[in-house]
């Protein structure tokens, strides 16, 4: 069952890759690239918010740290793109560990945790917006240089394929988590943290590991975002839009499931494009649809689309047994 889920997701990624190789119109390819960046961000969010039940409203803090590390290291220090990528992920994870250490030491969870992550992201946004080091309000650009070593390609399909590989790796990471003792502890503390603690789970340590992993993965998405658009500013990198998009995709697709973030990101962004083309250029309508879907999901499908289908299946097999 779980294995089938992983295989399904991998097959989907391979089909996307093949489609791109056969040839896709440029705007569709750009949409797919963006979908995969959001998927990665949401996969990062899912490790903490989905499996651990700690809903963060401030994953922009990690996304932005990745994006800025990628840009500043390459532009101001002339560091190789791949080295910058590794540094970006490490820095993102470090920011995650820092925020996690402070919040979990204070025992924050639920709404309090959501609020404090949001506040941290805002502090970073204001700092990035006013420091010269990060280009201030004008933002920063990455120099255009094509080649594998620069992680920039004149043919954007190669970038897309690399992105697909990262998404697949994140899927394997989630799969490993689901099967490991660490994942079991994490899910146990989501269900009932006091009971988990009473059974001897070191919940502080498990939460710390989860937020570090989650932040690192989301920072990776930030690095790739910067590398794809070659321009960032504080409102893009640390803006609340990305925190919300990550949370939306994971929850709508199915928080705490393997392929939830992928389903959510593809569906939401696809739907967003459809809305945009029907709304005739009125800004904001796509986000209205997102918001309504989120409310409907919480009301009718608390485990997201993935959970909704799992439920249907269970109900159908129960009905078959009864008959």
Partner 1 sequence: MYSPTIILEALVNGLMLGAVYALIALGLTLIYGVLHIVNFAHGALLTVSMYLVWIGCEYFGLDPYVAILFVTPAMFAIGYFLQRLVIGPASRGSDNGILLVTLGLSIVIQNLLLAGFNSDTRTIVTDYAFGVIPLGPLLLSQPRVIGLAVSVVTAGLLWLVLNRTDIGKAIRAVAKEKLGASLVGIDVAHVYAMTFAIGTACLAIAGGLLMPSFYVSPTTGAAFVLVAFTIVVLGGMGSIPGALIGGLLIGVVEAASSLFLGDSLGQIGIFLIFILVLLFKPTGLFGAR
Of 85 and 297, which has the nearer Cβ to partner 1? Answer: 297
Of 113 and 159, which has the nearer Cβ to partner 1? Answer: 113
Minimum CB distance to partner 1, residue 302 (Å): 7
| C-alpha–C-alpha distance, residues 133 and 130, integer Å | 9
Q: Is 275 in the site for partner 1 (CB under 8 A)?
A: no
**Token pair belonging to 207:** 């939460």
Minimum CB distance to partner 1, residue 290 (Å): 7
Q: Which of residues 26-55 bind partner 1 (CB under 8 A)?
A: 53, 55
Q: Which of residues 97-156 bind partner 1 (CB under 8 A)?
A: 102-103, 105-106, 108, 110-112, 114-116, 118-120, 122-123, 126-127, 129-130, 137
How many other β-carbons are positioned within 10 Å of the β-carbon of residue 183? 19
Of 115 and 195, which has the nearer Cβ to partner 1? Answer: 115
| C-alpha–C-alpha distance, residues 54 and 317, integer Å | 33
Please select the residue that binds partner 1; options are 288, 311, 315, 317, rule is CB under 8 A.
Answer: 288
**Residues near 163 by Cβ (< 8 Å), separated by ≥ 6?**
33, 36, 37, 40, 224
Q: Which of residues 181-240 bind partner 1 (CB under 8 A)?
A: 240
Minimum CB distance to partner 1, residue 292 (Å): 6
Strands (E), the chain: 140-141, 231-232
Minimum CB distance to partner 1, residue 75 (Å): 22
Element (H, E) at 153: none
Report the alpha-carbon angle 305-306-308, nearest 5: 60
Minimum CB distance to partner 1, residue 126 (Å): 5
Question: Of 60-68, 205-213, 257-265, 278-286, which segment contacts partner 1 by CB under 8 A?
Answer: 278-286
Beta strands 231-232 and 140-141 are antiparallel
Question: Of 260-268, 287-295, 305-313, 315-323, which segment contacts partner 1 by CB under 8 A?
Answer: 287-295
DSSP 283-314: TTHHHHHHHHHHHHHHHH-TTHHHHHHHHHHH
Q: Is 284 in the site for partner 1 (CB under 8 A)?
A: yes
Please select the residue that binds partner 1; options are 302, 311, 313, 314, rule is CB under 8 A.
Answer: 302
Minimum CB distance to partner 1, residue 197 (Å): 19
**Residues near 219 by Cβ (< 8 Å), separated by ≥ 6?**
44, 62, 63, 65, 66, 69, 88, 89, 91, 92, 93, 95, 96
Minimum CB distance to partner 1, residue 240 (Å): 8
| C-alpha–C-alpha distance, residues 98 and 109, integer Å | 16
Of residues 241, 242, 68, 245, the one with CA closest to residue 141: 68
Q: Is 285 in the site for partner 1 (CB under 8 A)?
A: yes
Minimum CB distance to partner 1, residue 221 (Å): 21
Site size with partner 1, rule: CB under 8 A:
44
Contact between 21 and 157 (Cβ < 8 Å): yes
Contact positions toward partner 1, by CB under 8 A?
A: 53, 55, 57, 102-103, 105-106, 108, 110-112, 114-116, 118-120, 122-123, 126-127, 129-130, 137, 240, 244, 247, 251, 279, 282-285, 287-288, 290-292, 294-296, 298-299, 302
């Amino acid at each position: 069952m779980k294995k089938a889920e992983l295989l399904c997701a991998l097959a989907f990624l391979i089909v996307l890759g093949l489609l791109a190789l056969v040839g896709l119109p440029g705007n569709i390819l750009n949409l797919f690239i963006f979908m995969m960046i959001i998927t990665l961000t949401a996969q990062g969010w899912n490790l903490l918010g989905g499996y651990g039940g700690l809903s963060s409203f401030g994953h922009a803090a990690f996304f932005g740290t990745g994006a800025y590390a990628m840009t500043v290291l390459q532009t101001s220090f002339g560091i190789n793109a791949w080295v910058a990528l590794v540094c970006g992920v490490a820095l993102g994870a470090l920011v995650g560990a820092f925020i996690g250490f402070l919040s979990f030491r204070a025992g924050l969870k639920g709404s309090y945790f959501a609020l404090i992550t949001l506040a941290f992201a805002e502090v970073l946004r204001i700092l990035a917006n006013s420091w010269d080091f990060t280009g201030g309000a004008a933002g920063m650009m990455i120099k255009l240089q094509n080649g594998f070593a620069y992680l920039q390609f004149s043919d954007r399909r190669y970038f897309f394929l690399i992105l697909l590989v990262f998404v697949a790796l994140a899927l394997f990471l989630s799969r490993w988590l689901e099967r490991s003792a660490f994942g079991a502890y994490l899910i146990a503390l989501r269900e009932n943290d006091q009971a988990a603690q009473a059974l001897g789970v070191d919940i502080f340590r498990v939460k710390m590991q989860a937020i570090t992993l989650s932040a690192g993965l989301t920072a990776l998405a930030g690095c790739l975002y910067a590398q794809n658009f070659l321009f960032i500013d504080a409102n893009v990198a640390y803006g609340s839009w990305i925190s919300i998009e990550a949370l939306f995709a994971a929850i709508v697709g199915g928080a705490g499931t393997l392929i939830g973030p992928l389903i959510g990101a593809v569906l939401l962004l696809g739907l967003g494009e459809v809305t945009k083309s029907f709304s005739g250029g009125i800004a904001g309508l796509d986000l209205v649809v997102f918001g309504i879907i989120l409310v409907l999901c919480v009301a009718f499908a608390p485990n997201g689309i993935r959970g909704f289908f799992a439920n249907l299946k269970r109900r159908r097999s129960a009905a078959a047994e009864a008959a």
